[in-house]
Amino acid sequence: MSLTKAEKTIILSMWGKISTQADAVGTQALERLFASYPQTKTYFPHFDLRPGSAHLRTHGAKVAAALGDAVKSIDNIAGALSKLSEMHAYVLRVDPVNFKLLSHCLLVTVASHFPADFTADAHTAWDKFLSIVSCVLTEKYR
Amino acid sequence: MGFLTAEEKGLVNGLWGKVNVDEVGGEALGRLLVVYPWTQRFFQSFGDLSSADAIMGNSKVKAHGKKVLNSFSDGLKNIDDLKGAFAKLSELHCDKLHVDPENFRLLGNVLVCVLAHHFGHEFNPQVQAAFQKVVAGVASALAHRYH
């Protein structure tokens, strides 16, 4: 599964808008993840996960920055996220099922923040993009 | 406590009261067919599904989406007994329609995206969490009679 030219164009142009609120989008996606899928909190016993916490905002910004890196290197996402991929495989070891959950919450966040842009084609492009990012991050698991 | 807390029921019913079920149904089914094109396998008789525009404008897709979501809406009235409410439909989806229950989960999540799209910030994390419980419950109820 790879992105078409048209899909890359959609991602790049929407990222232009999203990047102005990237931290808020990353943070809200995490809030949604922890609210809808409380089991995901087990990976963050060391965090204050209350909405608005500094931990959440910092981590949300990190997630957004990583997505930004993937967008900037959209033709080589595996290269751009190679270190992050290793970290997830050897250190974090987040169960692969959770990438789908966070991807869904990112999609919901984008849909609610950018209604005019979230057409059916954009929905497809983002779903595919996040799928690819998830694949890259779990690529080295075994 | 039943399936949802009183607070969650309030959040779900509060939002659902504002939903144009017919329209949202068409939108959700359309997006399912666009975003996950393999789901088109169940709708070979629906005519032109060749592009996002074709799918979203397709009158059969809209009509069927309306049917599906009205059924979902009826189920919401029996939120504490979804398995009972969807028993017959579960049998139908297994025995006659031969639909993999994974598709119910996909459609549930597409519906959540459509609600987020329509309601924006009003569809906050707490409202989403309540709806995720609902769509998971409906998907599970629809799969319950499979054999």
* DSSP letter, residue B80: G
pLDDT at B3: 85
CA distance B10 to chain A (A): 16
Is the Cβ pair B128, A104 closer than 8 Å? no
* DSSP letter, residue A90: I
CA distance A60 to chain B (A): 15
Range of the domain at A17: 5-138
Whole-structure pTM value = 0.94
User: At which residue do the structure tokens 């009826």 appear?
Assistant: B74
The string over A25-45, giving b where at least 16 C-beta atoms fall within 10 Å of a residue's C-beta and e elsewhere, is bbbbbbbbbbbbbeebeeeee
Q: Which domains are delineated in chain B?
A: 6-143 (1.10.490.10)
This model of the complex carries an ipTM of: 0.91
Is the Cβ pair B129, A32 closer than 8 Å? yes
- Read off the pLDDT of residues A47-70 as tens digits, 9 standing for 90 and up: 999 999 999 999 999 999 999 999
Indicate the angle between helix axes A120-138 and A97-113, nearest 10 degrees.
150
User: At which residue do the structure tokens 């608005």 appear?
Assistant: A52
Total domains in chain A come to: 1
Give the whole-angstrom CA distance, residue B51 versus residue B128.
29
Is the Cβ pair B125, A35 closer than 8 Å? yes
Distance of CA A65 to the CA centre of its chain: 9
A122: CATH: 1.10.490.10
- Read off the pLDDT of residues A129-139 as tens digits, 9 standing for 90 and up: 999 999 999 99
Q: Are B96 and B42 in contact (CB under 8 A)?
A: no
Q: Which residues of chain B have pLDDT under 70?
A: 1-2
Q: Which amino acid is at B41?
A: R
Mutate to test the interface with B, among A27, A30, A32, A50 (most CBs of B within 10 A): A32
Give the whole-angstrom CA distance, residue B17 versus residue B29.
20
- Read off the pLDDT of residues A77-132 as tens digits, 9 standing for 90 and up: 999 999 999 999 999 999 999 999 999 999 999 999 999 999 999 999 999 999 99
User: What percent of chain B stands above pLDDT 70?
Assistant: 99
User: At which residue do the structure tokens 């900037």 appear?
Assistant: A72
Query: For A44-48, what is the mean pLDDT?
Result: 95
Longest alpha-carbon distance in chain B:
46
pLDDT at B1: 54
Give the whole-angstrom CA distance, residue A111 versus residue B55.
20
pLDDT at A1: 81
Give the whole-angstrom CA distance, residue B55 versus residue B32.
10
3-state secondary structure of A139: coil
- Read off the pLDDT of residues A1-40 as tens digits, 9 standing for 90 and up: 899 999 999 999 999 999 999 999 999 999 999 999 999 9
CA A68, A86, A1, A96 torsion-angle sign: negative
CA atoms within 13 A on the CB side of A68: 16
Chain A residues whose CB is inside 8 A of the B118 CB are 115
